[in-house]
Structure 1
Amino acid sequence: MKKRIIGLDILRDIGVIFIFFYHFFVEYIVTAGGTDGAMYGYNYFFNILARPASLFLFVISGYALMYNHEDEMPIGKYFKRRFKGLFIPFYVAYTLMFIISFLVNNEVVGHDLPIKLFVYTILGVDGVAQLTGANFYLIGEWFMTCIVVCYVLFPLLAKLLKKFKYITLGVLMVWYVFLLYIYNPFPITQLMNPAFIIVYFYLGMFLQNLLGENKINSKIRVACAIISVLIFIYFCMIGFIPSLEWMKMKQVQTEIIYFILSMTMLIALRDVEIPSDKIVYTIITYISGISWYVILLHHRIMILFYSHLSVENYNHRDIFALLLACIFITWALSIFVREASNRVKKLI
């Protein structure tokens, strides 16, 4: 049995926690129209790691597939395994939130749209497709679309990795720079575009193939940890100290900094070791184990809350109570979806 890499679990936990809190505060502003200045500050703080978190979640996905030798599986077995792990939870969570949304909003999602558009949801790509036109999108957002594309391309990328490891990396980096700095032909920015995300995914595959079971040099890990902290401090300073706003960069340059942060965090944390009998190990692996279900569900739950609550008179205690409600309901529904998905997997 392959040894569990607890460092990747820590990264996954950091990712889902920051994304969860970022969405809670951004929906307070966007959906509910809240004006409490403190909430804007919280929103900015959690957004510092929300973007790099989403990036290193893709890096982790590529790393994990190579670590588990899924590149060596027969193609049919690989896609069956990915379908069971990705689409069954998505379908179960979608069905659950479809029913809840109908009961709350008194109308079905996409009630006036052509039913043929539901094919985007069946394929799991409605999150990005809805950025260019209405469809039956409900959960999963752009993250689901991008991970579907990554998983579909994985067998091809794995072959290229084995035969042309550095050439493929070079081509993808040129592609990345071209799209980022020269011309992006797609009607989607780099923030949610699978054409960009595939580069992060391949980097995870590349790192696992390059490093294997070898430990990363401790000096390199310390250096990466220091860089990660310094980047985090930089974003805090430009966000909370008005006199330093001149240090802010444009979106393209910021994306590069986020990319660097995601990679340094991965290198700094990959070889962390925690005894499996420690309570902190149990907590880390538990959160990691339900992270996919949380990612699927949490944002829609928050939107449902904020679209039906009036928050203009909320004080900080009221907002904290709502946060606790979102945490509890997301956790409870995540457990339900996980158990229901496991039952469906056994049936097929």
Structure 2
Amino acid sequence: MNKEHIKELDVLRMIGFAFVVAQHIFGAYAWREGASFSESLILSLLYVIAQPAVPMFVMITAISLFYSHTEPMNKLTFYKKRILYIFLPYVIWSIINIIDAKQYGQSSFDHFLGQLAAGTGRYHLWYMSMILTIYLFFPLLLWLSKRIIKLPKLYKVGILLISFVLYIILLRNNGITLLIGKIIFTTPTNNEQKFIDRTPLLYSIYFVVGAYIIFGYSRFLSWLQRYRKQILFSYILLMLYMYFAQISPHLPGHKYIMPGYLYCFLKVSYMLFSILMSYCSACYIANQKPKLYRLFKETSPYSYSAYLAHVIVLQAVAMELNKVYPIKDFLASSLLIYILTIALTVKLVQLLSLLPFSKYFLGTNCKYQQKYISNRDFQYTFTGRG
């Protein structure tokens, strides 16, 4: 049975992709030698604004998965689709990324299977190690969620609060992954330890919140509309705190904010309120700006392949731009690299979609020359279909 398309997710996927690219560019240029203090302050602000990229995609994944599998699941079909449209593109683009990174002396094919498991083929591929684990255990998570959703409201709220508290404790004590690595592997290799470090548990609260959202989606949208001003106010306060935490080591006195329980609580709160703000924006665009929404809808299916490919484009753009215009203004240069990387990456994967069997290395059936391939809208996650 076809379900109504969740239009807001089209917008959120591309916002999330823009955030991913922003992190890799603005985070790299902020406080780089040669950048002025004012440039570094602005670049740091842009970096902080983009920080919720991964939590946003984890939440999108949860929303899309649970929405697409409310009916009894065929596990064989589920895993077959993930292998063909998520894992296979990941393998192909890992190879391409490693080949590209070798020219910068950044990577090699040593222990390739370990690189796939740990997401160490290139710095942005760590996300795949985490998300593939979520897909591996999703049938169990679906079974558990269907039992929780039948509980009385008080119990469901209690489980959510307990999940939040336990997550803060885990985030504060995330060094436990080093101990687990030693227990399991005795003397873990880099890939083995990275695999343990990239456990989905360190992003679990966003998956849990995503599940709660989709199981009460109409109430959630009403809540967003009712409290949008309070969400905006809370977001600004939390963003300013995270911005101060980011720049404080570079201010006179070099004060560091220690990552204690309060810091972890405020950081997670910032991530959640940033996602809520993005969701408010997505709802507005999807319902009030049809022309702009059409752009998001046409590019959203390529968000996964664009994520896999964007570092290749980023490196090429930065290198070529520096040849033509050697960096003097770090802010202007990084903004130009940012815009070009997003535009060229999306256009690249759209053109690649015209090739035969492109769905196996892009993770989508959508073709660039077809704005809508059927009357049915596909439910995509960041790493492929829902």
Q: Specify the TM-score bucket, using the shorter chain as the normaliser.
A: 0.7 to 0.9
Partner residue of 2:276 out of 264, 271, 275: 264
Deviation at 1:155, TM superposition (A): 0.9
Q: Which residue of 1 aligns with 2:47?
A: 47
Correspondence list, 1:299-314, <5 A? 299-303=311-315, 313-314=326-327
- Unpaired segments of 5 or more residues in structure 2? 150-155, 179-192, 366-386
Q: Deviations over 1:144-200 (max 9, x none)?
A: 111111111211111111113437646644541331235641038999542221332
| Alignment check: 8 A CA contact 1:139 1:296 kept | no
Correspondence list, 1:188-267, <5 A? 193-211=199-217, 215-217=221-223, 218-235=225-242, 250=259, 252-262=264-274, 264-265=276-277
Answering whether residue 18 of structure 2 is matched by residue 17 of structure 1, we say yes
Identify which range, 56-65 or 217-226, moves more after superposition.
Answer: 217-226
Counterpart CA distance in 2 for 1:184 and 1:77 is 37
Counterpart CA distance in 2 for 1:108 and 1:246 is 33
| Alignment check: 8 A CA contact 1:62 1:202 kept | yes
| Alignment check: 8 A CA contact 2:16 2:57 kept | yes
Correspondence list, 1:53-132, <5 A? 53-69=53-69, 72-102=72-102, 104-105=103-104, 109-111=107-109, 113=110, 117-121=111-115, 124-127=116-119, 130=120
Q: Deviations over 1:112-152 (max 9, x none)?
A: x3xxx21134xx4332xx4xxxxxx1364221111111111
Deviation at 1:254, TM superposition (A): 4.2
Q: Which residue of 1 aligns with 2:28?
A: 27
Distance 1:170 1:59, change over 3 A: same
Partner residue of 1:178 out of 153, 157, 169: 169
Deviation at 1:6, TM superposition (A): 2.5
One-letter amino acid matched to 2:208: Y
- Unpaired segments of 5 or more residues in structure 1? 131-136
Identify which range, 261-270 or 79-88, moves more after superposition.
Answer: 261-270
User: Sequence identity, in percent?
Assistant: 19
Q: Which residue of 2 aligns with 1:133?
A: none
Q: Which residue of 1 aligns with 2:306?
A: 294
Identify which range, 324-333 or 197-206, moves more after superposition.
Answer: 324-333
Distance 1:24 1:191, change over 3 A: farther
Calculate the TM-score normalised by the size of structure 1.
0.75
Counterpart CA distance in 2 for 1:76 and 1:83 is 11
Distance 1:171 1:155, change over 3 A: farther
Correspondence list, 1:160-175, <5 A? 160-165=144-149, 166=156, 169=160, 172-175=163-166
Counterpart CA distance in 2 for 1:244 and 1:257 is 27
Identify which range, 168-177 or 154-163, moves more after superposition.
Answer: 168-177
Calculate the TM-score normalised by the size of structure 2.
0.69
Distance 1:170 1:155, change over 3 A: farther
Distance 1:182 1:235, change over 3 A: closer
One-letter amino acid matched to 1:176: Y
Counterpart CA distance in 1 for 2:327 and 2:93 is 30
Counterpart CA distance in 2 for 1:182 and 1:240 is 23
Deviation at 1:25, TM superposition (A): 2.5
| Alignment check: 8 A CA contact 2:306 2:346 kept | yes
Correspondence list, 1:320-339, <5 A? 322-339=337-354
Distance 1:17 1:170, change over 3 A: same
SS of residue matched to 2:286: coil
Q: Which residue of 2 aligns with 1:134?
A: none
Counterpart CA distance in 1 for 2:33 and 2:324 is 6
Correspondence list, 1:124-143, <5 A? 124-127=116-119, 130=120, 137-138=121-122, 140-143=124-127
Counterpart CA distance in 1 for 2:63 and 2:241 is 28
Identify which range, 56-65 or 169-178, moves more after superposition.
Answer: 169-178
Counterpart CA distance in 1 for 2:324 and 2:273 is 35
Counterpart CA distance in 1 for 2:226 and 2:289 is 28
Deviation at 1:75, TM superposition (A): 0.5
| Alignment check: 8 A CA contact 1:18 1:53 kept | yes
Structure 1 vs Structure 2 CA RMSD:
4.0
Counterpart CA distance in 2 for 1:243 and 1:7 is 43
| Alignment check: 8 A CA contact 2:52 2:271 kept | yes
Counterpart CA distance in 1 for 2:254 and 2:270 is 18
| Alignment check: 8 A CA contact 1:224 1:265 kept | yes
Answering whether residue 137 of structure 2 is matched by residue 153 of structure 1, we say yes
Q: Which residue of 1 aligns with 2:373?
A: none
